[in-house]
Structure 1
């Protein structure tokens, strides 16, 4: 067996507890986790192992068993990471929920997953769970980190410290408990459930196995080749597959040193402190980092390495972007300071990254080549198909059955439309279900139009519409950070967003932005009419998914009258 095949075979037969135990055995005194929250602390791998075992034993004391679900709603902090890994050690299936979910969404997931244990930060999260705790009968225990959020009158509640004490007692009586439970886990056992919030439909519970996760982490390592103990930054919600891979699973695989950032508004400070080797950012994050660099006086921008250090990416081996198209201008901006952003593509069902650009194999505008051990091809209608060990086990059904996500030959239909070039580089052109078919029969990918519109910093979100219509129209939302600042710099007074959106100077600037976008688009893709909205789009309002993708059906319904007016005479 060649070395190129050996890693894949080994990865496919590995579990998360095996990787974690290896780190604790081989690197006991090396740092594993650093949390700079209210009480800064660093855990070595030995200390992390001790705490994981305590928590795992505590969960068994609560009655959580292999195959049962544990739901988590916590900030990015060490305790979140540790309890997640602890559940994996006893064969339970952790699932992190986005902190922005509504009570109804939380209720659906709790009921659908038949969760037995829930772990929460404190009062802010508890408010979103009030409906669940009244109505979902499967929940037997609620663990809260903040003791002030304890509901003493509810017998299901436990504090974090009480969970640890239970674990300590259980390990005193049975020291080999966690080693025994983790040894019983096999690679095809479920290791996590991630609930995807689709842009058109409801939430689906994607089941990932230990094999999926360990193979995906190993494949990413083959591409990036980070050194042992190199730092990572965990800052996106752990409900996001990219963060679970980079900040949790691949970090364990690589024996990395994970730093936590609970508040994304402080990401710049967190980056400069951690200086990560691997970093994933959605385009919005890269826009914010670019804006930070552009604030630096011109005379201080002569040294590219110093500029990379100003955003904490001077040691980055794999600065990457995904989840949405990134503007080519942004890629070019970072290239001028010697920072090549590697575009990638993947989804929850593929345990994250399927294709990526990398050092020595980068083609801007594409999402790169398939990671090792994975096959990709396109169907006759352009849909991208994926096959390999990182494709999920399937979708959890309400009765606990896992429905396969692949066809009989193992191919996953991703729903994304793309083109593979002769060198194996993939270009994603849109979502199959989102394609606009104009009245003239032209197929148009709305994301291409929307990306051109949001290239202007004043436009935060754009939705293109035109299915069955003679031309395209667009709904535009001003950027919630940039637009007010832009207005103040020009002495524009406004009371609210509606007034700002209606201001002549804003309308003139947006008009110029639409013209510039149209110049980059072919004729059928060009926007003929548009409306600047005075509202913001967000997760709470229902217009965006937790990963900040447009929920098109919701927006279409919500603004149907405005869309109709744009097609009026």
Structure 2
């Protein structure tokens, strides 16, 4: 039984050291998996802490980390904690303007970056940030300050100072400042304490089928509080953490690492599913019929119900003939996939569960460190289509207007430098106003239906929840991105970016010459295909909710173009402004 911890860095002595694994962390370097042992990790953290003191870092100083996920990220994170400084992790793919704003707002003193590209962007953003003393790099770059220069391996005086500082740090002290990506306006700095995050993973950990024999694959960015909290949870339970090389190598890394668990966003599962289904349709004769039969069985599955002897026997055969290959593609050892950050389509949850791959959908926000509710795999306590029960120690209340309110020890201290904004989000009774609309099914399982600020009213006075429509229509293999519009208009319309890879396969199968993406979105047959798909899903909605007109776009929305956030949520105002003429044309 693990001892209670009160500060995140207590994980070093109470979990990492006690499990003492040779592969506490691992990353692939020049084609080889390089492992970091518990001893080496703790020594590196301590030496970095001694070096930070030597630089003059004081309690409360803000230090930024801008890097893809790698063991150095974790070493710097813990090294910062042990001297009472505050980490400010930033997305590697946000704009230079955002870096510049955060450097000023947080009064950053030092910056750690991953590679040469990030160094150049950080240097550009730091030109007018007089508080920044030095930028350090994880990669060795000519002319740059390497992060290992900070480490102090022989300063016994600073060793004693670090221990004294650690002893002075309380559980409610500020641990980190996380700037939310935000769909509107400037980023907001969320202040989280040690106890905020500890209470969150302690409230989740008993539901994860993890033990010290587990390997976890990590590929979501560590600056996102969800992946960071889950990695602390892995450390707490003794799992080894392997970092994927990048998003393009996940399939290869899954086969290499054979992980027992990983966290993901729904879009990745959608792509895995779409790729498997596309290959299934390419099969001929009996093999194709077997594949479609298995898929049909899987789409009906629910882990909470026994469908009877005949269904169960068929499913066993389907798992042997078809779904075993799905398991192999994910490494063959999966005990649980955690899905968050956006809505998971119920059909995906059903078919992965049927394939013997448990998927747990959860919900939260940066301001709650982040998990508020999650479906449980161990012991089984879930409802497909919901985000599960509230975590241990938390309370959910549904306001009169349907907004989800939350109270618990994981709720943030507040927004940095913005006390008035904090009061808008956390009321006088301590309830965090999530901005999401939802309901409790069976009095227990939280179901998210929309964002409060995104619900709009048509000219007929009817309210439309765009996310519900978007999530449903995105079930089409031909829809990559969608945004429903129609504020004060006669009916909802939609901007859609097709899934061009699937569109190419469709065009080939239908003897339609595929030219360019830009020309294909103007093609009558393509427009009919997408409209037919929308019409198919419209049937599940009331007439006033149905999408009546569609405009196809050739260019996907990207983080770099400022149309989506780093967590892939559409910036609705930006998109509406950019495509105003197209939207207006829908209603002429």
TM-score surpassing 0.5? Answer: yes
Q: Tell me which residue corresponds to 1:557.
A: 577
Q: Tell me which residue corresponds to 1:358.
A: 376
- 1:227-242 residue pairs with structure 2 within 5 A? 227-242=211-226
C-alpha offsets along residues 120-170 of structure 1, whole Å, 9 cap, x if unaligned?
A: 11221123223322111110111112232534xxxxxx2123123xx2143
Q: Tell me which residue corresponds to 2:227.
A: 243
Residues 488, 20 of structure 1: CA spacing in aligned structure 2 closer, same or farther, 3 A cutoff? farther
Residues 527, 36 of structure 1: CA spacing in aligned structure 2 closer, same or farther, 3 A cutoff? same
Q: 1:287 aligns with which of 252, 264, 270?
A: 270
- 1:460-539 residue pairs with structure 2 within 5 A? 460-479=480-499, 481-484=501-504, 486-487=506-507, 492-539=512-559
Q: Tell me which residue corresponds to 2:58.
A: 65
Quote the Cα distance in structure 1 between the aligned partners of 2:330 and 2:517: 34
Using the TM superposition, give the Cα deviation of residue 389 of structure 1 relative to its aligned residue in structure 2, in angstroms.
0.7
Quote the Cα distance in structure 1 between the aligned partners of 2:19 and 2:431: 39
Using the TM superposition, give the Cα deviation of residue 403 of structure 1 relative to its aligned residue in structure 2, in angstroms.
7.2
Quote the Cα distance in structure 1 between the aligned partners of 2:510 and 2:90: 41
Residues 398, 104 of structure 1: CA spacing in aligned structure 2 closer, same or farther, 3 A cutoff? farther
1:307/1:337 contact within 8 Å kept:
no
Q: 1:122 aligns with which of 69, 91, 115?
A: 115
Using the TM superposition, give the Cα deviation of residue 495 of structure 1 relative to its aligned residue in structure 2, in angstroms.
4.7
2:350/2:384 contact within 8 Å kept:
no
C-alpha offsets along residues 447-492 of structure 1, whole Å, 9 cap, x if unaligned?
A: 1111122111111111101111111111111225444454456565
- 1:134-213 residue pairs with structure 2 within 5 A? 134-148=127-141, 150-151=143-144, 158-164=145-151, 167-170=152-155, 172-213=156-197
Quote the Cα distance in structure 2 between the aligned partners of 1:115 and 1:33: 28
TM-score (norm 2): 0.88
2:436/2:448 contact within 8 Å kept:
yes
Quote the Cα distance in structure 1 between the aligned partners of 2:99 and 2:82: 25
Using the TM superposition, give the Cα deviation of residue 324 of structure 1 relative to its aligned residue in structure 2, in angstroms.
1.4
Quote the Cα distance in structure 1 between the aligned partners of 2:445 and 2:484: 27
Q: 2:240 aligns with which of 257, 282, 296?
A: 257
Quote the Cα distance in structure 2 between the aligned partners of 1:105 and 1:491: 47
Using the TM superposition, give the Cα deviation of residue 289 of structure 1 relative to its aligned residue in structure 2, in angstroms.
2.0
Quote the Cα distance in structure 2 between the aligned partners of 1:56 and 1:261: 27
Computed over aligned residues only, the root mean square deviation of the Cα atoms, in angstroms, reads: 2.5
Q: 1:275 aligns with which of 258, 268, 282?
A: 258
Q: 2:206 aligns with which of 222, 227, 244?
A: 222
Q: 1:77 aligns with which of 52, 70, 79?
A: 70
1:386/1:412 contact within 8 Å kept:
yes
C-alpha offsets along residues 71-100 of structure 1, whole Å, 9 cap, x if unaligned?
A: 111111111121112111211111221111
Q: 2:432 aligns with which of 412, 419, 423?
A: 412
Using the TM superposition, give the Cα deviation of residue 174 of structure 1 relative to its aligned residue in structure 2, in angstroms.
3.7
Q: Tell me which residue corresponds to 1:14.
A: 6
What residue ranges of structure 1 are gaps of 5+ in the alignment? 152-157
Q: Tell me which residue corresponds to 2:462.
A: 442
1:473/1:530 contact within 8 Å kept:
yes
Using the TM superposition, give the Cα deviation of residue 493 of structure 1 relative to its aligned residue in structure 2, in angstroms.
4.3
Q: Which moved more, 1:323-332 or 1:490-499?
A: 490-499
1:113/1:398 contact within 8 Å kept:
no
Residues 160, 526 of structure 1: CA spacing in aligned structure 2 closer, same or farther, 3 A cutoff? same
Quote the Cα distance in structure 1 between the aligned partners of 2:108 and 2:238: 30
1:123/1:149 contact within 8 Å kept:
no
C-alpha offsets along residues 486-514 of structure 1, whole Å, 9 cap, x if unaligned?
A: 44565654453211212233222212211
Q: Alignment partner of 2:56: what SS?
A: coil
Residues 305, 532 of structure 1: CA spacing in aligned structure 2 closer, same or farther, 3 A cutoff? closer
Residues 402, 459 of structure 1: CA spacing in aligned structure 2 closer, same or farther, 3 A cutoff? closer
Q: 1:326 aligns with which of 344, 347, 360?
A: 344
Q: Which moved more, 1:341-350 or 1:220-229?
A: 220-229
Using the TM superposition, give the Cα deviation of residue 206 of structure 1 relative to its aligned residue in structure 2, in angstroms.
0.8
Quote the Cα distance in structure 2 between the aligned partners of 1:404 and 1:73: 30
TM-score (norm 1): 0.91
Using the TM superposition, give the Cα deviation of residue 361 of structure 1 relative to its aligned residue in structure 2, in angstroms.
1.3
